[in-house]
Structures are given as C-alpha cells and as structure tokens.
A and B are shown apart, each in its own frame.
Chain A
Amino acid sequence: MKREPPQSIADYGPLFFPAGMLLLFFVVPFGTMIAVSFFQRQEGGFYTPAFVFSNYERFLSAFFGGVLGFSLMLAVTVAICCVVLALPFTYLLTKLTRRLQVFWLVALLSVLSLSEVIIGFAWSTLLSRTAGISNLLVRTGLLDQPVALFPSFGAVLTGMVYQALPYTILVLYPAIIRLDPTLMEAARTLGSSPIRAFFNVLVPALRNTIMATLIMVFIFALGSYLLPQILGRPQHWTLSVLITDQAIYQSNMPFAAAMAVFLVLVTLGLVALTLLVGRKGEKA
C-alpha cells in the first residue's frame, strides 16, 4: 500500500470528524471571539453586534499600558531565570544513566502537569507565616519571628519559575541530547575546564535553541493566570488575569475579547519570530 492522494470522497472519510470538531469548536469560537471584540457593550453585561473600535481604544489608557508592560516584564524575567537555571541542569541530565534520566523526566512531568491552583496553594503555604520557611529561619536564629513572604513580587516570580522550569528543561532536553558529544570532548582534550567548555562551546553551539526556548517559555509564562492572583497583589496582575476579570466579573465581554485578540497577536508574532530563528539556525 503506497501513500497516495485521496481518490474518492470516501477516502476523505476519516478526516470528517476531526476536521469538523476542530473547525466547529476551535475556529468558530475563535472567530466568535474576534467578532465580539468589535461589538458594542450594553449596560448590564450584554452586548450588541456592531463594528466599533472602542474596545481597542481602551488599550491606550495608562492603566492598560501598565498592566501590559508588567505582564511582558514578568514573562521576560521568568523566561530568563528558567533558561539560566535549566541550561546547565539539562546538560547534566543528558549525561546521566538512562534510568536516572527517566526518573527525572517522570518527576519533571509530574510537576509540569500540576494545576496552577495546586502550585499556588503549595507556594502560599511554603511562604506563609504559620507553615512556611520563615519558621525554619526563626529556629535557626536568622529571624526573630515568622513573617509572611507573600503576597509579593518575589512570590509571584518564584511560583512562575517553579511552574515554567520543568517546561524549560523538557524543551531544551531533545536539543541538547542531539548535540554532537565530540564538541565537548574536543574542548576538554584541548585543555579547557568543564565550566569553560560549557560557556565557550556549548552555549554558542546552542545559541538558536536558547533563543527559541526563551521565546517559548515567555509565551508559556504569559499564559500564567492564577499565580499572580494567589501569590501577588492587584498590581501584580497580568493580562491573562485582567481578561478573565473583565469577562467574568465585570461582564464586559467585548473588552475581554479585544484584549484576548491582542494577546494572540503578540503570541503569534513571537511564534513567527521563533520559527524565523529556527530557520536561520538550520541554514547556519
């Protein structure tokens, strides 16, 4: 049986159900959302079909600019922290025995699949006054009395790095495992220390991978929604939080939709950038 183009309509049969589901429940909702972003909002949470730009004009406010700036800054910080932590770790991971690698992969997947609610709850307990690490510091005499370490920016950042670190490692893993091992061996034979070889050989060889990973973790962090709410103060809320807040609590669906469309555009722009970086890497 050779691979061949579909001959008759029956050959397309298997495609009907998946294509229908994806069109009806992803493309149509997506289109609905775009349409609603141009609708006119009515008092009391309703909206009527229209074609207005007023929902997008609200972006021009200082408040919205502040939230957008904060979201982008937070996601960039998370991405940098994660890649800096994950790069040496993933390299060391690929050098372990297969058994240990599988153990770590299972652990990383388990943490990665954890609900944001659970991560938020776990960190809020760890940083709390009654059950947190500050009690440990009191016992060792470093602190006089236990303190609550959240809500704060540090708590939001820690929680989000916790959430994104397994993702970062799993994104870097295949690229690093496929890396030619003779590169590092050559560096070592020529007398460079492992740390120097890491920075002078491995990091430049992975330049494109690192760039692509940074962008992917950035997008991942941009989607974080509960952690800023659980571990931060209202000034630490991100665009994702604001979208939900407008949609559910303020009942302003058109504005929420406009913000979501904007978020998609930012994300798609970044995905395009990732692909571009990847393509350049292939040519080089």
Chain B
Amino acid sequence: MIHWLKRFYFLGIGLFLALPLIVVAGVSVNAKQTLAFPPQGFSLGWYGEIFTNPEWRAALVASVVLATTSAALAVLIALPLSWFLWRRIAPWANIFQVLGIAPFTLPPVITALGLLTFWATTGFYGQPWTAVIGHAIFFVTLPLVTLSLGFSAIDRSFVEAAATMGANDRTIFRTIVLPLILPYLVSGYAFAFVLSLNEYIVAYMTVGFTLETLPIKIFNALRYGYTPTMASVTVLFVFIAALIFSLVARFGDLPKLLGAMASDEP
C-alpha cells in the first residue's frame, strides 16, 4: 500500500507541476487566434509567429542577446573573484563573496529599485546596456557558487607539483585550474543564462520602456491582447530550460552541484 501511496504522491506533484504547461502547450496549437483548450484545430503557426512576426522576433533577439552577454559578464566577475579567494589567504575579501550573493537573496524588487535610482541619478536610465550590467550583478551569485564549488574540488597537490616544476601562476591557471573548473564555469554560465532569459522585474524597471525582452512582451500581451504566440513562446522557454539543464546534468554532476548550491545560501 505504501508503494502505491508513493507513486500517487509523485504523480500528484508531477501533475501539479506539469498541468499548467500542458494546457499552455494545448493552447499554443490552436488553429485560430483563440486561447481555447482543448485546442480547436491544429496548427504550428504560432511557433512560426515567434520568428516571423517582427515584434516577437525583436523581443526574442533582445532576450537572447541580453542573456548571452549578461551571463558572460557575470562569469567574468565571478571567475577572478573565486580564483583570488582560492589562491590567497585574505579573509576580508570574503565580503565580496557576500556582496555577490546578496542581490540574489534579497527580494528582486530591491535590486531592481536600487538600479533604477542609480541609473536615474547618473542619467543613463533606459539605455539598453544598463540591463546587461543589471542582470550580471543580479545573477553573479550563480557562477560564484558553482565556481567556488569547483575550486574547492581541486586537489592542491596538482598545483604544488606544477609549481615545484617551475610553472608560474599564469601557466598553472591555464594548464591545470581552467580545465578542472571548466564544467563548473559552464554550468554557472548556463544557470545565469536561463534565469536572465526569464527575468522580468529588473529588466522592466531599468529598461522597460526602451527594450522589450520576451518576458516583458508576454506581460504586455497579457494586458493588451491575448494571442496564442504567448503560449508558443512559453513552450519554447520551457523547452530551452529543460534542454540546458539536461546538458548540465549530462556533462556535470547535477546532484552534487545542487547539493552545494543550497548550502551556500544563508
């Protein structure tokens, strides 16, 4: 009986998580411009719409560019910082680790409003590049956490052997450290990329009136006119997230990665 109870519980949670997405997937294949479920007719036209309709395509491009660049910037901030913390004994430098984790721990509206007042004061409010910095700061936590996990997993005797044989810091970094932390670097980038793709409030409050990312576009469509394209974009996003996390799981140790991630948060 317990066995069945377990199955039933997994099924229940699975259904709860999947049900809204199933309905959205159904809505996305409607033949006409209606959000009916079960779908009336069958058409994949709303998926084509994401790429052919200039507005949706522009939003998709904006989101992908933002996610690609901001995740890269987040990694550029996280990598030297976690390298320094691993290489040197400087307890006070841990403050920067805390600063990197803080934006992600606080309610997002705080970071969003902080950046809004900052850009408004400095006169850059609304510039598209400010969103890249905003997202990089907001999501720097993710590469920071994966990278500090990666560094802590490096066997220091490798590094000592290399140093004994005369390798300097730069050579050691290139030939030993980088190959060993590469999986952690990539997963940190992947996490930041997916979350940036889906982020709404920081983007909305800093560049909401000048740059329409996909989440902003979906929200505007929710307000000013429903179209099944919203549903097809949603399905696309779920697909992208599942694909990227499957790849992370395929090439890295997902349970280990998650085990460390949660314990690093307060």
A interface list, Cβ under 8 A from B: 1-6, 11-12, 14-15, 17-19, 21-23, 25-30, 32-33, 36, 85, 88-89, 92, 98, 101-102, 105-111, 113-126, 128, 130-133, 135, 162, 165-166, 170-171, 173-175, 177-178, 194-195, 216, 219, 222-223, 225-226, 230, 240, 243-244, 247-248, 253, 256-257, 260, 263-264, 267, 271, 274-275
Contact = CB atoms under 8 A, between A and B. Distances in A.
Given A1-B163, A130-B36, A219-B105, A28 B118 contact: yes
A32 to B, nearest CB: 5
B84 A131 contact: no
Contacts of B205: 244, 247-248
Nearest to A96: B10
Contacts of B208: 248
A170 B262 contact: yes
Given A4-B89, A25-B137, A110-B245, 10 more contacts: A15-B84, A17-B76, A25-B133, A92-B9, A98-B255, A123-B20, A130-B37, A131-B37, A132-B23, A171-B265
A73 B64 CA distance: 37
Given A117-B222, A263-B110, A1 B159 contact: yes
**Residue from A3, A124, A166, A195 having most chain B Cβ neighbours under 10 A:** A3
B108 A225 contact: yes
- Chain B facing A: main interface SS: helix
Contacts of B263: 174
B230 interface: yes
B88 A115 contact: no
A21 B144 CA distance: 14
B61 interface: no
A106 B266 contact: no
A226 B108 CA distance: 12
Contacts of B222: 117, 120-121, 124, 230
A115 B100 contact: no
Contacts of A122: 20-21, 23-24, 234
Contacts of A170: 258, 261-262
A113 B241 contact: yes
A107 B242 contact: yes
A1 B237 contact: no
Nearest to A75: B107
A11 B234 contact: no
14 contacts: A6-B88, A106-B246, A106-B249, A106-B254, A109-B241, A110-B238, A115-B215, A121-B230, A162-B20, A173-B255, A173-B258, A223-B107, A230-B222, A244-B112
